[in-house]
Amino acid sequence: MNIDKIAEAIEKDAGQKIEGLKESLAEMEQGKTERTYTEEQLLIRNARTSTGLSQKDFAVLIHTPVATLRDWEQGRYPSSGAVNCLMHLIINEPSVIHELVAA
């Protein structure tokens, strides 16, 4: 597979340069197709799913835009230390959810 030629054709078709395209094609060629997750992504997702809430409802609960929560869960943006601390608290002390709802 000629990664340079394929990347060139894809970018020509897209009409723009695509950052990381050659690296992604090289990973695909090597058979690396699985996703990887950071500890923070897993922490946030685990905290939310432990509450049984949707992304929308959980975002309301922690006073955060749902788009921000999605970005954290999908690894587009890192969460802050304060957010991570809150997630640990939600996982380790589930009763704190009732206090957040009451506030």
By the 8 A CB rule, do 81 and 43 touch?
Answer: no
Per-residue pLDDT tens for 12-62?
A: 998 888 888 898 888 888 887 777 789 999 999 999 999 999 999 999 999
Range 39-102: architecture per CATH: Orthogonal Bundle (1.10)
Mean pLDDT of 85-99: 89
Residue 101 has a pLDDT of 74
Task: Check residues 34 and 65 and name the one with the higher pLDDT.
Answer: 65
Res 80: pLDDT? 95
Q: What is the pLDDT of residue 102?
A: 76
The alpha-helical segments, DSSP class H, found in the chain are 3-14, 21-29, 39-51, 55-61, 66-74, 81-92, 96-102
What pLDDT digit, counting tens, does each position of 18-28 carry?
A: 888 898 888 88
Specify the 3-state DSSP secondary structure of 94.
coil
Question: Which of the 8 DSSP states describes residue 20?
Answer: T
